[in-house]
Amino acid sequence: MTSGKDDAVATRVPIPANRYWIFAALALVGFLVDLLTKRWIFGRLWPPVAGQRPVHWVWEPYFGLEVTLNEGALFGMGQGLVWLFVVLSLAAAAGILYWLFVAGEARDLWLTWALGAVTAGILGNLYDRIGLHGLTWPAAYDPARVGQPAHAVRDWILLQWNDTLRWPNFNVADSLLVCGAILLLLHAFRPQSDAEQKKVPAD
């Protein structure tokens, strides 16, 4: 007879104030790191020479820098669906904010960290898809679009294994999305007692 009352009380427990700061700091810092690394790398290696996309090796042949523009999603999926991904990104960001701070899931510190990382990744790639980076298409990609605004994500990290296994180029935002997704997956399988679920950490 008391479990329903306890659940009702738990749902009324306020979100700790530090959850807002943790989420905002992680989302903002991750977003800025993504933008600054893209700006620095592309400021030095862009645009590629027509017919060439040289790799600047850090650890040959495993890790290098190669600038590319991606009109798709993570790992190049869905090429050409830029504006669909813009809409989905905005919807996802809004959904995360609602889930954490309206539905109250920010009481869970693990979820706050995970979704902060995901939000940083969403914002970093959304910035590029809208075209705020100011890049235009070079001849190395499509001569028919030379000079047109590039609504595409800037990727620059290259990982491969002896030329036999090459991972699609990615960026810091992609890394944050993957890390956030891994945290969410681990959270889903993390056992919690009823007492732990209702516990609200101090600010």
Active site residues per annotation: 155, 174
CA gap 177, 29 in Å, rounded = 14
Burial 97-123 (b: 16+ CB within 10 A, else e): beebeeebbbbbeebbbbbbbbbbbbb
Q: 């491969």: which residue's tokens? A: 160
Q: CB within 8 A of 152, min separation 6: which ones?
A: 69, 70, 71, 82, 128, 129, 135
Q: CB within 8 A of 191, min separation 6: which ones?
A: none
